[in-house]
Structure 1
């Protein structure tokens, strides 16, 4: 995997994002695209008691509500984006050596296609991905299958 500068200085910083997300103390301005993936990698690597596909959706909904956001047909939680992102994070983590620090795993994930917020538009057209049905339920890609 490409050598990329880490966004988070060490594993403790990645873990802190995940834990602060889970306990609803992560400031809303820190809930960035990179933080979504950090929280997901934390869950996959450090929380075997949680099932990302089952538990992350409700955790995101709770986090959104706790930080003043809404979860509606047009804002907040997005099922298709969440599940696609979990698949991407899981695949990337699986391709990484178990000895690779989590902040390095995160850095290489963010240095690749998933590092931009529009990465999903390679697989879904905007009108499909941004439709309320894709926000509330999983909608399969309409342009090409996900590579993982």
Structure 2
């Protein structure tokens, strides 16, 4: 697994700006990083109970991508399996976390954890399966190991 150093957050306001920016489609495209994906997911799970994450996260991300000039296709943009895998990971991390405040420290702990690494889904999926068109379009089950 890679040892990419994550970009960490300095305040709860930074997390809120990303989460609300995603929902409102106002977050600058350059700020929609791996770290921002996990920060926004954590924010929405913990601070926006009005958002049904399971039912709407895919649509939220696809709409955001389109709003900043991105494309949701068979080769780029929204990826259902990666999104659902990281959503399961964030939920697992939160279930095991011993605190919820401050939010930015919780997100930074997530980013430093194995779950926060960019290649975490490859513990469960072969690259061929994870990066397939089928996995991008819809949820596919892991072929290496079950998700925790």
TM-score (norm 2): 0.91
Structure 2 matches for 1:119-134, cutoff 5 A?
119-134=120-135
Please name the residue that 1:52 is paired with.
53
| d(CA) in 2 for partners of 1:129, 1:90 | 20
| d(CA) in 2 for partners of 1:115, 1:45 | 17
Structure 2 matches for 1:43-122, cutoff 5 A?
43-122=44-123
- The question of whether the paired residues in 1 share the 8 Å contact of 2:22 and 2:40 is answered with yes
- CA RMSD for the aligned pairs? 1.5
4+ runs of 1 displaced by more than 3 Å?
Answer: none
1:51 Cα deviation after fit: 1.5
1:69 Cα deviation after fit: 0.8
Q: Kindly tell me the number of residue pairs found equivalent between the two proteins.
A: 143
| d(CA) in 2 for partners of 1:14, 1:109 | 13
1:6 Cα deviation after fit: 8.1
- The question of whether the paired residues in 2 share the 8 Å contact of 1:92 and 1:105 is answered with no
Please name the residue that 2:143 is paired with.
142
Please name the residue that 2:43 is paired with.
42
Q: 3-state SS of the aligned residue for 2:84?
A: helix
1:128 Cα deviation after fit: 0.2
| d(CA) in 2 for partners of 1:48, 1:118 | 28
Query: What runs of 5+ residues in structure 1 fail to find an aligned partner?
Result: none
| d(CA) in 1 for partners of 2:117, 2:93 | 15
- The question of whether the paired residues in 1 share the 8 Å contact of 2:79 and 2:135 is answered with yes
Query: What runs of 5+ residues in structure 2 fail to find an aligned partner?
Result: 1-5
Question: How has the CA–CA distance of structure 1 residues 114 and 98 changed in structure 2, closer, same or farther, with 3 Å as cutoff?
Answer: closer
**TM-superposition CA deviations, 1:116-144 (whole Å, max 9, x none):** 22121111001000100001111011001
1:98 Cα deviation after fit: 4.3
- The question of whether the paired residues in 1 share the 8 Å contact of 2:70 and 2:77 is answered with yes
